[in-house]
Amino acid sequence: MYTIHEACKRTGLTAHTLRYYEKEKLLPNVSRSAGGFRQYTDEDMESLAMICCLKNTGMSLQDIARFMELAREGDQTLRERCELLERHRESVLARMEEMQRYLDKVTGKVDYFTEKLREFEKNQSK
């Protein structure tokens, strides 16, 4: 079992975010100690890792909540989970291609300005 503080350290999320995820049913079944403190299990930590992965790759919280709900429902939702993840993967790939085009443009500008700087410095040293 992990305290909220330990879960924060392991995930990089804030306590506020963990509480919000619980409230929004992304991680609805977090157990509590006798004193009422949240106790995160290894399974909760795996779920948080998946939530972070999906969020960091641009999936909406609404879609993440749906995915997590389907996961809790069991194997009868495998097809729907697969389809949801396939759509998300296509979206991620499209954004990666777009980012690669932007990176290529930035790299071109770095190369251009680096060459201009060399010329400038060469002319200054004469």
pLDDT tens-digit series, residues 60-100: 999 999 999 999 999 999 999 999 999 999 999 999 999 99
Q: Which of 23-32, 51-60, 100-109, 111-120 has the lowest mean pLDDT?
A: 23-32
50: Cα separation from own chain's centroid: 8
Burial class (CB in 10 A: 0-12, 13-18, 19+), 51: buried
Q: Quote the pLDDT of residue 125.
A: 82
What are the domain boundaries of the chain? 4-91
Beta bridge partner(s), residue 40: 2
14: phi then psi, degrees, rounded to nearest 5: -85, 160
CA distances for 84 relative to 24, 64, 117, angstroms? 19, 10, 49
In the predicted structure, residue 28 carries a pLDDT above the cut 90: no
Considering the chain, what is the average pLDDT of its residues?
Answer: 95
Q: Does domain 4-91 have CATH number 1.10.645.10?
A: no
In the predicted structure, residue 126 carries a pLDDT above the cut 80: no
Q: Quote the pLDDT of residue 29.
A: 86
- Rg from Cα positions in the chain: 23
Which tokens go with 18? 């963990």
